[in-house]
Structure 1
Amino acid sequence: MSRPRALPPFWVMAAALVAVAANLRVAITSVPPLLASISADLGLSHAAAGALTTLPVLCMGLFAPVASAVAHRIGAVAAVLGASVCVVLGTASRFAGDQVAVLYAGTFVAGVGIAVAGTLLPRLVKTFFPADRVGLVTGLYMLAMMGGAALSSAVSVPLAEALGSWEGALGSWTVIAVVGTVVWAPFTMRANPHHTRGETARGRLPWGAPVAWLVAAYLTLQSWCFYSTVTWLAPTYVEHGWAASSAGYLLSAFTAAQIVSGLLGPVLSDRVTDMRRLLLPSALLGIVGCVGVYAAPVAAPWLWAVLIGLGQGAAFSLALVLLVTYARTPASSGRLTGMAFLVSYGIASVGPLAMGVVRDVTGGLTPVWLILAAVGVVQVLVVTRLRPDLRKVD
């Protein structure tokens, strides 16, 4: 048997992880600022336009269990490389997005890549990094993920104006996807299966574990709020008379706030034993922001966007920590992630579409924010059950 090759230094591995993570939201968040143009050009209803965000989220649920099966066959690191290639292909296809079938097919392919990579990254964090660095590394790749989201939502409209088409603006994000693939490829060569021997065995998803259902419920509620906000925050303010570019900047403020709390939350999690001390404030911030958009949207729009972003950023990054904390091994972390993503994203994928239906029925997006605030209240109730002494997934 060949000897394992030495792994790269800590920061090299972390940088490779960050390069991949930077692409895990761009294909989603680059779309909402351009929804008005896309809908007008292609004749889409609000519900059909919302499906451009719904489809990748649905993929993230349906293909989460597939990620574990692929990792069992070819290794988790190689599976992430294949997922990164899918993101490249899906994003590049948007250059021909004026064809409705191509636009949705490319979104699907990118969604599959996002699903596989997003499911396996928590597992790789537990595999390659010491327990006292889990929060730090999780925060770093959360930082990259939200940074890519902030950049894409901020410059999608200016890119479309500069390039003369929304298709060119969406397709141009292929560059970042290619960079992530190129940076990850050498790591695939170094991280051979010997390093994770015994951790790639196939196992069933932990359907019988109560803690797995609690984590899945938490992720479902958080994801419903997040993807609905990503899809409809900018259009809400376009309805209030804002220019599309200004509404895109507001969405960027929402995402930039996530960068701050998304990095801070996991770092603080290394210093607390009861995660509820961090999870509860993050949920409350999101509730306050949604109530603000509902009750007084033009009074302090930037404040509401930042509050929602701070809450959502911390909530999601801490959820990634939960996927590691409540698992005993990297393999069990992968199974917990697969189940949690299948349930949460499968349900939450309906969120943007459902909120689009609310808009079509009521004639405005204002009621959406009251619904999202109510979802946040349910999220608080779930958080109270996430005790630190819960039995971990084996």
Structure 2
Amino acid sequence: MTSASHRVAPAPRWVLVAAIVLMAANLRTLMASLPPLAESVRDDLGLSSLAMGVLTTLPVLCMGLLAPGAVQVARRVGPWAAVASGVACVLVGLVLRGFAGSSVPALYAGTFVAGAGIALTGTLLPGVVKAVFPAHRSGLGTGLTMGSMMGAAALASAGAVPLADALGGWSASMLSWAPLAGVGLLAWFAVRRGIRASTTADTASDGGSHALPWRSATAWLLAGYLTVQSWQFYSSLAWLAPTYESHGWTARDAGLLMAVFTGAQLVSGLVAPALLDKVPDARVLLVVAGLLGGSGEVGVWLAPDAAPWVWALLLGAGQGAAFALGLGLLVRYAVTSRDSARLTAMCFLVSYSVAAFGPAASGAVEDLAGGFGPVWALLALVMVPQLLAALRLGPSLARVGSDGG
């Protein structure tokens, strides 16, 4: 009997997809669980709005600066092990942050470690999606990962304050998301054969470059789009709840508003990439997403108390769709999963490194202005270059890897 007869068959595709979805669920709970608790954290630790903005900025900055390193880690140990290492860092960071208590250094250290893990896993997942899903279903794969991310974020936002009340404080509430990372790791270990087989088959014969595609005009255009989109998203994530708490809302109600914001992202993040599979020209979807998000920003800026739930819904729907479409284009505009990882690393390096300063800059604006109106005016203004970039992301752009780029 040959050794081949003893081999364990790779897991079915749906099992691989389920594991990818579980891993993706851990990429936003760190950030989404903080805003509803921001006032409690700030009061307990004596932090300014700028310092709270830095706390939100830190994982985003990690996602940018550490993205190129993710490609090199995957090159050395393989995508499966690299993604697993990333979620392990998220688990360690969540535990460290959850036991921070009154320790500011521990709070920031845990946020940094988890942010590094998010950078590693988030950079490589689009390439894994490209390897596991056929080309005509890549939008569905992107939508499922995006939906998982935003669904978990919605739960983290809505549950942050009730969990703090039930468990005895904000640090215990933050710690409660660590088990999800543990479950994701267990699922990932269960499908290691299938993920390794899929990613190896996709890249073994292409002999392509591992370098970031700095010479690609397509890569720079996508990086610019994701930069302004991410600036708005992370600033909105950081300051939507505090904006309404400054209008007299309770932390619990502000958390529910955040749940509407992230829940709308869940729906639009599922729908928009699925539509991307059917729409050859993504510009139609990109512009609609931008207009939805921009309408929400203008609403919070000019009439925050007129229809807050509508503004949160528009913000979430527009920003969720815009980000999901961006992730889908990181798959569409790449030839192989390796090229998708290279493209993602470059775009994340540029976009997140710049967008990371959005929450802190917005916090500084609020400190200076004494209110959140100017913050939302700035975000509405940033929507203009997002729409201009969206109009250039047409189907005729060269794919990364097609010309050596």
> TM-score, normalization: structure 1?
0.97
Partner of 1:267: 274
1:120 aligns with 2:124: yes
Unaligned runs of 5+ in 2: none
1:80 aligns with 2:86: no
User: 1:200: Cα distance to partner?
Assistant: 8.3
Partner of 1:247: 254
User: 1:96: Cα distance to partner?
Assistant: 2.1
In structure 2, how many angstroms separate the alpha carbons of the residues matched to 1:198 and 1:166? 50
Q: How do 1:160-171 and structure 2 match up within 5 A?
A: 160-171=164-175
Unaligned runs of 5+ in 1: none
Q: How do 1:35-50 and structure 2 match up within 5 A?
A: 35-50=38-53
| Alignment counterpart, residue 54 of structure 2, candidates 44, 51, 56 | 51
Partner of 2:212: 205
User: 1:199: Cα distance to partner?
Assistant: 6.0
User: 1:365: Cα distance to partner?
Assistant: 0.9
In structure 1, how many angstroms separate the alpha carbons of the residues matched to 2:303 and 2:196? 55
User: 1:6: Cα distance to partner?
Assistant: 4.2
| Alignment counterpart, residue 362 of structure 2, candidates 340, 355, 358 | 355
- Write the letter of the residue equivalent to 2:112: F
In structure 1, how many angstroms separate the alpha carbons of the residues matched to 2:17 and 2:165? 35
User: 1:350: Cα distance to partner?
Assistant: 0.2
| Alignment counterpart, residue 300 of structure 1, candidates 297, 304, 307 | 307
Task: Give deviations 1:43-87, integer Å, cap 9, x for gaps.
Answer: 111010111110000000011101100000010111101111001
| Alignment counterpart, residue 108 of structure 1, candidates 112, 117, 121 | 112
Q: What root-mean-square deviation, in Å, do the aligned CA atoms of Structure 1 and Structure 2 show? A: 1.4
CA contact (8 A) 1:5 1:190 kept: no
CA contact (8 A) 1:62 1:346 kept: yes
Partner of 1:335: 342
User: 1:363: Cα distance to partner?
Assistant: 0.5
Partner secondary structure for residue 83 of structure 1: helix
| Alignment counterpart, residue 11 of structure 2, candidates 8, 15, 18 | 8
User: 1:7: Cα distance to partner?
Assistant: 3.0
CA contact (8 A) 2:79 2:196 kept: no
In structure 1, how many angstroms separate the alpha carbons of the residues matched to 2:175 and 2:398? 45
Change (3 A) 1:199 1:238: farther
CA contact (8 A) 1:200 1:331 kept: no
1:89 aligns with 2:66: no
In structure 1, how many angstroms separate the alpha carbons of the residues matched to 2:206 and 2:59? 28
CA contact (8 A) 2:11 2:193 kept: no
- Write the letter of the residue equivalent to 2:359: P
Displaced runs of 4 or more, over 6 A: 2-5
CA contact (8 A) 2:63 2:119 kept: yes
Partner secondary structure for residue 191 of structure 2: helix
User: 1:192: Cα distance to partner?
Assistant: 3.1
In structure 2, how many angstroms separate the alpha carbons of the residues matched to 1:244 and 1:332? 44
- Write the letter of the residue equivalent to 2:110: G
In structure 1, how many angstroms separate the alpha carbons of the residues matched to 2:393 and 2:10? 35
CA contact (8 A) 1:22 1:145 kept: yes
Partner of 2:183: 179
How many residues are matched?
393
Partner of 1:391: 398
Partner of 1:232: 239
User: 1:5: Cα distance to partner?
Assistant: 6.3
Partner of 1:147: 151
CA contact (8 A) 2:67 2:349 kept: yes
Partner of 1:289: 296
